[in-house]
Amino acid sequence: MAPLAPRTGDAVFANVERVNAELFTLTYGAIVRQLLTDLEEVEEVNKQLDQMGYNIGIRLIDEFLAKSNVSRCVDFKETADVIAKVGLKMFLGVTASVTNWDVDGTSCSLVLEDNPLVDFVELPDTCQGLYYCNILSGVIRGALEMVSMKTEVTWVRDMLRGDDAYELRLKLLKQVPEEYPYKDD
Ligand code: MYR
C-alpha cells in the first residue's frame, strides 16, 4: 500500500477554507429554509433577510475599515468600486463588475462574477418571488449607512429566478455630511 502523502500547509489551509465556505453556504440555506417555515409568506422572508443583512452590515463596516485600510472615497463611484473589488472579496471571496451608471453618478449595478450563497440551491415552485440573496443587499445598505450614505439596494437580476446573472442595483439616496467634531475658536 502506498504511504499516505503528508499534506502541505497550503493544501490543508485550502481545504479548511473550502469546508468553511461550504458550511457558510449550507448554514445560510438552513436559515432561509427556517424563515420560510416560520413566516410562510415569501414577501416576509425577503423583508426579514434584508433586515438581518442590515443588522450585520452596520457592524461589519468596522471590521471592513480596520482590515482594508480603505480611506474616504471621493465619490459614490469610488465607493461602488470599493464594494465590488474589496468588500465582496473580503467577506464572500468574489468580486463584481460595476456597470450601468446613471448620468449623475448616483445609481449603478454590481454584477457578481460568482455567488457562493447559491451553491447547492434550487428553489421549488412554491418559492417564486423569493429573493434568496436578500441578506446581501441588506448588508451593503447597512454598511453604507454607517459611512453616511443612505442607499436603496435591490436585486434586478437573479439566476435563481431564471435571469442570466446576479445584479444588484445601488442607488444613493442621500449623503449625510459628517460634522466636523471640533469648534474653530
Ligand atoms: C468611505 O468613504 O468612508 C469608505 C466607504 C467604503 C464602504 C465600503 C462598504 C463595504 C461593504 C462590504 C460589503 C460586503 C458584502 C458581503
Mean pLDDT of the chain: 90
Count the neighbouring beta carbons within 10 Å of the beta carbon of residue 46: 19
Q: What is the pLDDT of residue 103?
A: 97
pLDDT at 159 over 60: yes
List helix spans (H) across 69-178.
76-82, 88-92, 134-146
Q: Is the CB of 69 under 6 A from ligand 1?
A: no
- Of residues 136 and 4, more confidently modeled: 136
- pLDDT band of residue 16 (cuts 50, 70, 90) is confident
Q: Is the CB of 174 under 6 A from ligand 1?
A: no
Structural domains in the chain, CATH included, are 9-175 (3.30.1380.20)
Give the residue whose CA is nearest to atom 1 of ligand 1: 72
Summarize the confidence of residues 124-138 as an average pLDDT.
Answer: 95
- pLDDT band of residue 4 (cuts 50, 70, 90) is low
Atom of ligand 1 nearest to the CA of 91: 16
Q: Is 67 in contact with 82 (CB distance < 8 Å)?
A: no
Q: What is the pLDDT of residue 179?
A: 63
Q: Is 96 in contact with 4 (CB distance < 8 Å)?
A: no
Quote ipTM for the complex: 0.95
Cα 161 to ligand 1 centroid, rounded to whole Å: 27
- pLDDT band of residue 56 (cuts 50, 70, 90) is very high
Q: What is the pLDDT of residue 97?
A: 98
Q: What is the pLDDT of residue 2?
A: 53
Cell output for 125: 415552485
Which of 136, 135, 131 minimizes the C-alpha distance to 156? 131
